[in-house]
Amino acid sequence: MPNHYDVIIIGTGAGGGTLLHRLAPSGKRILVLERGDYVPREKANWDSRAVNVEAKYHTKEVWHDKDGKPLHPHTNYYVGGNTKFYGAALFRLRERDFGEIRHHGGLSPAWPITYRDLEPYYTKAEHLYEVHGNRGEDPTEPCASGNYLFPAVSHEPRIQQLSDDLARQGLTPFHVPLGIRLDEKDSRTSKCIRCNTCDGFPCLVHAKSDAQTICVDPALRYPNVTMLTNSYVTRLGTSASGREVTSVHVRRVAGPKGPATQGAVGPVLSDGPDDVYSADIVVVSCGAINSAALLLRSANDRHPRGLGNCSDVVGRHYMGHINSVLMALSKCPNPTVFQKTLGVNDFYFGSKDFEYPMGHISFVGKLDAIALSAGAPPLTPGITLDLMARHSLDFWLTSEDLPDPDNRVTLDREGNIELRYTPNNEAGHKRLIKTLEHALQQQSACADHGHACHQGLFARSLFVGQRIPLAGVAHQNGTIRFGHDPKTSAIDPMCKAHDIDNLYVVDGSFFPSSGAVNPALTIMANALRVGDHLLERMN
């Protein structure tokens, strides 16, 4: 059967791409289906207006929120998935994140596996994605079986000054582990040029460790691997018993400007009938929102609530972290080019004044006036966006949102995505913002401007904060949670559907709780773990 494979992987992001890398050398016939195309290599890759204002690379799909309001999701459909655009901050979850943790807003549930189960795969993922970091600096970092292969990316002077100030207060700032292929000892041959258009932008020189360059492209050199791009999986079909996925239905994405064009509402799909493929093992890895949507769309007589959804949890427990950008403005300019090098986790699990977890502090890529015009922060009269951007330290704060069954992905009658979400557990996040503001106000006097630096630009507001809205689905996870109990989880601890023998899920949807660090390394490590299991199963 020409359309039958050993494995079909749907989606090429952090989960699907990494799994492909693990399975490719096995000689097994693998078909990879990706709805997007390659990110075109063009000057616009590094153009703030194209990326931040025109949202050139975002999908043009329109989803809806719980009130029926249109939602323009900040997500990207390309080979490599969202890792093409990520900031490449590659963190392990903390060891305690795998257990139950009491938060101000309720309980963060335990995972069905422990940190020790995932630890060897974290090390492998860090090596695969060429993470640059310094072990032992981050006070909450869990123990590791291997060192980073590359030293941490250094701070530029303004960030080093901040790091020194925070350390003087007794905090323990650290170098963020980063998947950028920068060789600071030899800038002439370094792949990465340490530019200001990394976080949110695709890398024009292919120096970011994303799933396309690190995993998919090398895997395609194996003759047993085939990838079809512009291939949108519409649904999965099962055998009469419902115990196996027997068909994967694929519609070619086609539009007026050629195969990669996406329409105003959803993907412009070709008119022809779906192509149908099958495989011994089918792995869904479309991202937490699209994977849930695919399983829900695939409902049939045996699975009336959606595939693998006897538990009724598919689509539920959507999490995306509580994320804010906090711009700290001062008279002192911030000429930093690559800003994302410093992190603070001292308040991750709380502080002596607040006994609940607060979260993680690091940086976004350096904001410019064009990016600010798109994000529209509350303006301070008399200060231009350009002045703000030149004087701001642009912090990224992440706190854990808790898995609420009513925060969920559903489909409308036409099959379009609805994302219903009510924020929760916000007290820790608010506390984190206040705690950071307080710490920044304690900074020592600046050599050039004395304390004027710390009294606000022109003595006006010192901090400009903005919560990332629901459309900012960058950290989406949780919608197809794994667990031991088929009544409360959709997939088992090895990420196989409880009620289907050959269906696996390896994107961010398996998280039963989300911790407060960026999710990609955990998705990658888990994909390597599931990869080992699949190799064992197939052999």
Ligand X SMILES: Cc1cc2nc3c(=O)[nH]c(=O)nc-3n(C[C@H](O)[C@H](O)[C@H](O)COP(=O)(O)OP(=O)(O)OC[C@H]3O[C@@H](n4cnc5c(N)ncnc54)[C@H](O)[C@@H]3O)c2cc1C
Q: Which residues bind ligand SF4 (CB under 6 A)?
A: 180, 192-195, 197-198, 201, 203, 205, 207-208, 338
Please identify, using beta-carbon distances, which residue of 57 and 338 lies nearer to ligand SF4. Answer: 338
From the list ligand SF4, ligand X, none, pick the one residue 34 interacts with, judged by a Cβ distance below 5 to 8 Å according to partner type. ligand X
For residue 378, how many C-alpha atoms fall within 13 Å in the half-sphere facing its CB? 10
Asked whether position 508 contacts ligand X by CB under 6 A, the answer is yes
Who's near 413: CB < 8 A, 6+ residues apart? none
Residues 348, 436: Cα–Cα separation, whole Å: 12
* CB of residue 387 to ligand SF4, shortest distance in Å: 25
Per CB under 6 A, which region of 10-18, 154-162, 268-276, 413-421 contacts ligand X?
10-18
How would you label 118-147 residue by residue, b for 16+ Cβ within 10 Å and e otherwise?
bbbbbbbbbebbbbbbbeebbebbbebeee
Among the listed residues 108, 209, 399, 518, the single contact to ligand X using CB under 6 A: 518
Residues 148-207 touching ligand X, rule: CB under 6 A, are 199-200
Read out DSSP for 195-249?
A: -S--TTS--TTS-B--HIIIIIHHHTTSTTEEEESSEEEEEEEE-TTSSSEEEEE
85 binds ligand X (CB under 6 A): yes
236 interacts with ligand X by CB under 6 A: no
Closest approach, Cβ 94 to ligand X, in A, equals 14
Name the binder of 433 from ligand X, ligand SF4, none, CB < 5-8 A by kind.
none
DSSP-derived secondary structure letter, 419: E
Instruction: Pick the piece of the chain touching ligand X (CB under 6 A) from 80-88, 148-156, 306-314, 490-498.
Output: 80-88
Residue 409 in contact with residue 481, Cβ under 8 Å? Answer: no
**401 binds ligand X, rule: CB under 6 A:** no
Q: For residue 327, what is the enclosing H or E element?
A: strand 322-329
Q: Name the residue nearer to ligand X (CB basis): 208 or 431.
A: 208
Helix axes 115-128, 520-538, angle to 10 degrees: 100
For residue 324, state whether it binds ligand X (rule: CB under 6 A): no
Q: Which of 316, 475, 498, 529 binds ligand X (CB under 6 A)?
A: 475
Q: Cβ 201 to ligand SF4, closest distance in Å?
A: 6
Length of the chain: 539
> Using the 8-state DSSP alphabet, how is residue 455 labeled?
G
| 89 is a contact residue toward ligand X (CB under 6 A) | yes
Q: Which is nearer to ligand X, 105 or 177 (CB)?
A: 177
Instruction: Report CA dihedral (344, 349, 352, 353) to the nearest 10 degrees.
Output: 90
- The site partner of 362 among ligand SF4, ligand X, none (C-beta below 5 to 8 Å per kind) is none
Pick the stretch among 146-154, 165-173, 285-293, 496-504 that binds ligand X (CB under 6 A).
285-293
Please state, in angstroms and rounded to a whole number, the distance separating the CA atoms of residues 185 and 386.
33
Query: Which 8-state DSSP code applies to residue 517?
Result: S
15 near ligand X, rule: CB under 6 A = yes
Residues 92, 448 contacting (CB under 8 angstroms): no
Among 87, 105, 306, 403, binds ligand X (CB under 6 A): 87
Q: Which of 9, 13, 278, 513 binds ligand X (CB under 6 A)?
A: 13
Give the residue with the Cβ less far from ligand SF4, 334 or 479: 334
* Axis-axis angle for helices 520-538, 14-23 (nearest 10): 40
Element (H, E) at 371: helix 369-375
Which residue lies nearer to ligand X by CB, 86 or 115?
86
Contact flag: residue 519 with ligand X (CB under 6 A): yes
Rule CB under 6 A: is residue 479 a binding residue for ligand X? no
Q: Which is nearer to ligand X, 293 or 464 (CB)?
A: 293
Token pair 């329409």 is found at 263
